[in-house]
């Protein structure tokens, strides 16, 4: 089939296929989006983070023995869900954050869940949503019960977690890794 001296060229197969997963972190100002993002990326709790800074960060992760480039967009809306176009088509998954010690942040996160539900048709895929009740270390000042969080999540078909950006790293990492697992399931 092949003439003498000729070599057969096969398309190069990458040794290691690195998938990408784009996670968007949403919620009202002060709910702890940046603290959670920074904790996931650096294992550290940074208590004061520029509240107006919106950026995308990348981290190569190994999740269930599969490498993935996780990109996290830490959003910084001033006033609820506006200009959502910047992330709607980019996102593979959403994490909507509120603070368990602030009922206003819980109301605010409902606006995000509603906006996402409204835009669902515009999204090419059924993009998973996780609802995160942050600051569980502030239990003494809790204003939103765990069951309120869970039922809101259920209403929007979202996975629900309670976390804290200033407690252990592994539980924060688990939330981000579970978000990737949800994306992989789609």
- 29 to 48, contacts with Mg ion by CB under 5 A? 33-34
Give least dist CB 74 to Mg ion, A. 6
19 versus 167: smaller Cβ distance to ligand GDP: 167
Give least dist CB 123 to ligand GDP, A. 23
134 binds, among Mg ion, ligand GDP, none (CB under 5 to 8 A by kind): ligand GDP
Long-range Cβ contacts of 154-158 (<8 Å, 24+ apart): 155/113, 156/113, 156/116, 156/117, 156/129, 156/131, 157/129, 158/96, 158/113, 158/128, 158/129, 158/130, 158/131
Is 51 one of the binding residues for ligand GDP (CB under 6 A)?
A: yes
Is 41 one of the binding residues for ligand GDP (CB under 6 A)?
A: no
Is 135 one of the binding residues for ligand GDP (CB under 6 A)?
A: yes
Instruction: Kindly give, in sequence order, each residue whose CB lies less than 8 Å from that of residue 16, ignoring residues fewer than 6 positions away.
Output: 67
Taking a C-beta distance cutoff of 8 angstroms, is the pair 127, 186 a contact? Answer: yes
Q: From its phi and psi, is residue 26 left (phi > 0), alpha (psi between -120 and 50) or beta?
A: beta
Is 164 one of the binding residues for ligand GDP (CB under 6 A)?
A: yes
Which residue is at the shortest CB distance from Mg ion? 34
Is 134 one of the binding residues for ligand GDP (CB under 6 A)?
A: yes
Give least dist CB 69 to ligand GDP, A. 23
Report the candidate in 133, 122, 125 with the shortest Cα–Cα distance to residue 99. Answer: 133
Which spans of this chain sit near ligand GDP (rule: CB under 6 A)? 27, 29-35, 47, 49, 51, 134-135, 137-138, 164-166
């Amino acid at each position: 089939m092949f003439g003498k001296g000729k070599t057969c060229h096969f398309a190069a197969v990458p040794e290691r296929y690195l998938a990408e997963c784009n996670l968007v972190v949403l919620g009202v100002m002060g709910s702890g989006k940046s603290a959670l993002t920074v904790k996931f990326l650096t294992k550290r709790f940074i208590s004061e983070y520029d509240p107006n800074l919106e950026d995308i960060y990348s981290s190569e992760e190994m999740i269930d023995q599969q490498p993935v480039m996780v990109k996290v967009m830490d959003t910084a809306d001033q006033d609820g869900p506006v200009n959502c176009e910047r992330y709607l088509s980019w996102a593979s998954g959403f994490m909507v954050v509120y603070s368990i010690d602030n009922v206003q942040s819980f109301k605010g996160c409902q606006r995000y869940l509603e906006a996402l539900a409204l835009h669902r048709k515009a999204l090419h895929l059924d993009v998973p949503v996780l609802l995160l009740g942050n600051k569980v270390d502030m239990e003494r000042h809790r204003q939103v019960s765990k069951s309120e969080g869970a039922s809101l999540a259920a209403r929007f078909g979202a996975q629900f977690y309670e976390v804290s950006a200033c407690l252990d790293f592994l539980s924060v990492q688990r939330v981000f890794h579970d978000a990737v697992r949800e994306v992989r399931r789609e």
